[in-house]
């Protein structure tokens, strides 16, 4: 017999009301009290990209699954464990994007962007999705900023991309980000390197994690990226890609370091950087946190010269980077980076009575249409409650307008910081507010200069 209490009156299971009021695990709400931080970071990102002549690209939130299998790599954790894949009603396998580069490459090919003047520079700010363990700063739905350059093979392009990330960190107030660079070579020199790495690992592989055991024959380079302590110990003394580059890859890496030196960028060569995606070749780099209370990589990238060709396009060199915005904001908080507060309310008006409300409504709209942050009570508050709300909003000025003000044709604009009352004829009300706004802006500019 069915339990009578197993469903509600509408047939919904008892857990359903809880689900209706709880976000899915691994997702996050960006509340109005926090969104100004995101707006600030994204504005700086767009400004820096504009300085470097990048233009925004927007790609679908889902792609055909093969786009990610082919580009990201069948042996990666992303493809094997983390992708959100589903069949649509037509039986097609689709996947929510786990990162940005693959979709951008697909768009580059499909839209014939290889015929554009090179290099083609694009940036994106998007949401991505990975089913992974949830921890601070790491979510299943997350926000990612990335930049890609197509059509430039020279190492000074790599340095240019890195310098853009560095300028972004400088503009955001992050002074303790350590740049680390490496080269993992090309398919030609990696073949010989892979043989040497396997020789080192085979006597040790039994004591390593299951993932590394699986990677030994299929993709041994990815073992270098394993974070498990026993695997890192087994890697002791292992050959490194940078020590086994072919002549062309060695020359390319020396060109990169020379370009970074000429730009005055501080960096360290880290032979252990390999990146977790299969499409990388030659240059790989990371920016690593140097702040107390924050650890790990906050930006990662490199070169992927073979990816466009692998995905069916013309052979096109490419280089880029990406970073998680959640992780970046955590880093800014840890570093004490300044984030400007959102613009405050210039004027808050309490309209006492329907007559005053009808007169003020078009005036408020006129001021807003000119760009002024003006608000008016919508709840019919008392004067006392209205002033409390004006304080809570951080209004610079307030005004109470009712029948007596309408009859006299004049109102007072009160400075909320000093209590000073400034008379304003209602016939000249908008102009009076504009004058106060201009004075406040001039005072703010003077304080900033001094």
Return left, alpha or beta for 417; rule: phi > 0 is left, psi -120 to 50 is alpha, else beta: alpha
Q: Smallest Cα–Cα separation from 318: which of 168, 122, 187, 182? A: 122
| Selected residue with higher pLDDT from 445 and 307 | 307
* Residues 136-164, mean pLDDT to the nearest whole number: 94
Kindly state the average pLDDT of the residues 344-368.
92
pLDDT tens digits for range 104-128: 999 999 999 999 999 999 999 999 9
What is the pLDDT averaged over residues 40-44?
97
Q: Parallel, antiparallel, or unpaired for β 347-351 and 374-376?
A: parallel
Are the beta carbons of 266 and 290 closer than 8 angstroms?
no
pLDDT in tens, 381-421: 999 999 999 999 889 999 999 989 999 999 999 999 899 99
* pLDDT score of 164: 98
Tell me what pLDDT residue 295 has.
57
How does residue 135 score in pLDDT terms, banded at 50, 70 and 90? confident
Q: What is the pLDDT of residue 16?
A: 63
pLDDT at 9: 47
Lowest mean pLDDT across 32-41, 106-115, 238-247, 440-449: 440-449
| pLDDT of residue 2 exceeding 50 | no
**Residue 109 in contact with residue 61, Cβ under 8 Å?**
no
Helices 354-369/429-449 angle, 10° precision: 50
Q: How far apart are CA 283 and CA 303, in angstroms?
A: 5
Model confidence over 334-350: pLDDT tens digits?
888 999 988 889 999 99
Q: Is a pLDDT exceeding 80 seen at residue 3? A: no
pLDDT of residue 140: 92
Q: Where are the alpha helices (DSSP H) in 295-428?
A: 307-310, 325-335, 354-369, 383-393, 403-408
Angstrom distance (rounded) from CA 42 to CA 182:
28
| pLDDT confidence bin for 312, thresholds 50/70/90 | very high
- The pLDDT score that the predictor gives to residue 272 is 85
293-306: per-residue pLDDT in tens? 445 889 999 999 99
407 or 20: which leads in pLDDT = 407
What domains sit in the chain, N to C, each tagged with a CATH number?
21-186+246-335 (3.30.930.10), 347-442 (3.40.50.800)
- For 50-95, write each residue's pLDDT tens digit: 999 999 999 999 999 999 988 777 666 677 778 999 999 999 999 9
pTM for the whole thing? 0.86
Above 60 in pLDDT, residue 6?
A: no
pLDDT for residue 238 is more than 70:
yes
Distances (CA, A) of 216 to 207, 243, 275, 425, 433: 13, 20, 16, 82, 71
* pLDDT at residue 75, rounded to an integer: 60
- Quick one: pLDDT band at residue 205, thresholds 50, 70, 90? confident
Of 135-144, 195-204, 366-375, which has the strongest mean pLDDT?
366-375
């Amino acid at each position: 017999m069915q339990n009578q209490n197993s469903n509600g009156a509408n047939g919904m299971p008892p857990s359903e009301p809880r689900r209706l009021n709880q976000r899915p695990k691994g997702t996050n709400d960006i509340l109005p009290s926090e969104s100004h931080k995101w707006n600030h970071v994204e504005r700086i990102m767009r400004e820096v990209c504009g300085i470097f002549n990048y233009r925004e690209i927007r790609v679908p939130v889902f792609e055909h699954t093969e786009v990610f299998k082919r580009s990201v790599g069948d042996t990666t954790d992303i493809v094997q464990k983390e992708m959100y894949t589903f069949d649509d009603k037509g039986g097609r396998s689709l996947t929510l994007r786990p990162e940005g580069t693959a979709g951008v490459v697909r768009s580059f090919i499909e839209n014939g962007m290889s015929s554009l003047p090179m290099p083609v520079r694009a940036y994106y700010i998007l949401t991505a999705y990975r089913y992974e363990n949830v921890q601070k700063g790491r979510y299943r739905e997350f926000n990612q900023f990335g930049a890609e350059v197509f059509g430039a093979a020279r190492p000074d392009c790599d340095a240019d991309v890195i310098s853009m990330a560095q300028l972004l960190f400088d503009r955001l107030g992050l002074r303790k980000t350590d740049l680390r660079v490496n080269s993992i070579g090309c398919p030609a020199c990696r073949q010989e390197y892979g043989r040497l790495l396997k020789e080192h690992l085979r006597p040790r592989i039994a004591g390593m994690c299951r993932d590394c055991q699986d990677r030994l024959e299929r993709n041994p380079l990815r073992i270098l990226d394993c974070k498990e302590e026993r695997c890192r110990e087994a890697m002791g003394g292992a050959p490194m890609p940078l020590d086994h580059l072919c002549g062309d890859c060695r020359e390319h890496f020396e060109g990169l370091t020379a370009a970074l030196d000429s730009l005055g960028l501080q960096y360290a060569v880290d032979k252990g950087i390999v990146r977790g995606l299969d499409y990388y070749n030659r240059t790989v780099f990371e920016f690593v946190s140097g702040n107390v209370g924050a650890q790990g990589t906050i930006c990662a990238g490199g070169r992927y010269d073979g990816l466009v060709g692998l995905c069916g396009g013309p052979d096109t060199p490419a280089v880029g980077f990406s970073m998680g915005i959640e992780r970046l904001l955590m880093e800014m908080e840890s570093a004490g980076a300044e984030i400007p507060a959102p613009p405050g309310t210039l004027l808050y008006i309490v309209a006492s009575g329907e007559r005053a409300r009808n007169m003020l409504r078009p005036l408020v709209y006129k001021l807003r249409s000119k760009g002024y942050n003006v608000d008016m009570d919508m709840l019919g508050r008392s004067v006392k409650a209205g002033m409390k709300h004006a304080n809570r909003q951080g209004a610079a000025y307030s005004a109470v307008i009712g029948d007596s003000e309408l009859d006299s044709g004049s109102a007072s604009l009160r400075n909320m910081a000093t209590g000073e009352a400034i008379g304003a004829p209602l016939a000249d009300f908008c102009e009076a507010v504009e004058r106060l706004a201009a004075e406040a802006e001039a005072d703010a500019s003077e304080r900033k200069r001094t």
